Every structure is written in structure tokens, then in C-alpha cells.
Amino acid sequence: MNNDKKLVVELENVTLKYAQSTSFNLKRFFLSKHERKRVVSNSNASREDALSDVSIKFYEGDIVGIVGRNGAGKSTICKVLSGVLEPTTGKFHSNLGIGALLSLKSFFTKELSGLDNIYLIGALLGKNKKEIEDKIEDIIDFSELGDSIHKPTETYSSGMVSRLAFSIATSYRSDILIIDEVLSVGDKYFKEKCNTRMKSIMKESKLIIIVSHSDSDIKNMCNRAIYLDKGQVIMDGSVDEVMNKYK
């Protein structure tokens, strides 16, 4: 499959077990950045695998939709692809730079303001102060949060969080863009605005991964889909084929 395309990212027999039940957030990521195994387990036996023997090849130009029921392992795969989590066993190879992971579940530190989160997430994406400050105006404008940017994000509606998350991640260019359940929230007007921005980013990114529970998001944007269940790949193929199986 895809013999004419350039292989850019590969998961090889990846298994991932979480060490303990715990929520994931930015602070935790910073603390564990140099010791990633603190958030995953080395044990072979004790826990059900969040990912189990997953092998996937990603090619330049792929826009891949990942589908599956709750708990299937979609967010976990995104974290492995963005370098946030290391596999417990198996290998992750990437010829692309650090992946920009756009995820509502992961990175907001809720007691901090939207503005502070812009700095923190920018730093997490490897940007320096100047690079972050160069983008602040664009991020706030695009998110349309106005003065709410100074309020703690725990006071935001899910739509506001979504707007800010989308604005931050899409303000920086990276070779790999990973969008985990962000497109499905936000009102119709903002969704259209996101789609327009996405189209221009897609032209610049080498690989895009989209997790969505929305059939239409996957059908409209992706050229390939992967169906996960209980941490395993059930099907990897064309969008039509996979969405028919997933129904």
C-alpha cells in the first residue's frame, strides 16, 4: 500500500500500558518530560493495554482519521505520535519534527488564564518567548475570546476552550499536526472558520491526524482512516471502507 509515497512516521508493534489511573495535564507533562516512563508502566502483566501491538505506517501527505468507541486508544495513539508518551514496548520512528498535538483533554491548566496557557503551550511546543509573543495577537484574535483571555480557563465554556486550543495549535506550523477531538465542539460559525484555516494548514503540513466522533469531519477531511478498538487496529484503509465497518 502507498508504495509511491514517502514513509514519514511509523509505529512498530507498539504496546502502551498506563502506570496508574490519573488525569493528564500540562504540568504533569513538564514534570515527566525527561522521564516519560513515569506515566507509563514497564510491567508486562498487571493492566489492560491502552494500545496493544499496534503497527501503522504514515506517509507524507496523509490526512488520517482515527475512529473508535470511547476508550479505544485514540488519544493514547495521538500522545505517542506527538512524542508525549513513549511506548511501553515496540518502536515509534519519525522523520518529522515534533508534532503539534491539539487536544482538549490534555494540555489546558485550568486554574491559569487563557493567556498563561498560551505561554505554557507555546513552551511545550518548543517555542521561545519571542516566538510565542509574535503569535499572541493572532491567537487571541482568532479565538475571539476578547477580555476573557485574562480569566482562568476553568471558567470557560467547552466552546471557548475549543476555540483557544484550536487557535494556539494552528498558529504554529509543524510538519505533523494532530487534532484530537477539537473539531466537534464550537458553534457552526466557528467550525466554518476552523475549516478554512485547516485547509491552508493542510497544504503546509506533511502529516495530519484527526480524531473525531463525527462521520462528516472524517469524510470531508481525510484520505485514509484507521478504526481502533480496545487498543488494536481493526481496520486501516480508505475512508469509505473504514467508516462502513465502523458503523
Ligand X SMILES: Nc1ncnc2c1ncn2[C@@H]1O[C@H](COP(=O)(O)OP(=O)(O)OP(=O)(O)O)[C@@H](O)[C@H]1O
Out of 1, 4, 21, 147, point to the residue binding ligand X (CB under 6 A).
21
- The grid coordinates listed for 176 are 505533523
The helix (H) or strand (E) run that includes residue 9 is strand 7-16
Does 221 bind ligand X (CB under 6 A)? Our answer is no
Q: How many residues bind ligand X (CB under 6 A)?
A: 13
Stretch that binds ligand X, among 2-10, 16-24, 83-91, 151-159 (CB under 6 A): 16-24
209 touching ligand X, by CB under 6 A: no
17 binds ligand X per the rule CB under 6 A = no
Smallest distance, ligand X to C-beta of residue 168, A: 20
Distances (CA, A) of 166 to 57, 178, 207: 26, 11, 17
- Nearest distance in Å: CB 146, ligand X: 30
Please tell me whether residue 122 binds ligand X under the rule CB under 6 A: no
Distance CA 21, CA 24 (A): 10
Q: Is-contact 19 67, C-beta < 8 A?
A: no
Residue of 14, 63, 75, 160 interacting with ligand X (CB under 6 A): 75
Does residue 119 interact with ligand X by CB under 6 A?
A: no
Cell of 26: 500540562
226 contacts 72 by C-beta, under 8 angstroms: no
What is the CB neighbour count within 10 angstroms for residue 86? 16
Strands 7-16 and 89-94: antiparallel
Stretch that binds ligand X, among 21-29, 132-140, 163-171, 182-190 (CB under 6 A): 21-29
**Contacting residues toward ligand X, per CB under 6 A:** 18, 21-22, 24, 50, 68, 70-76
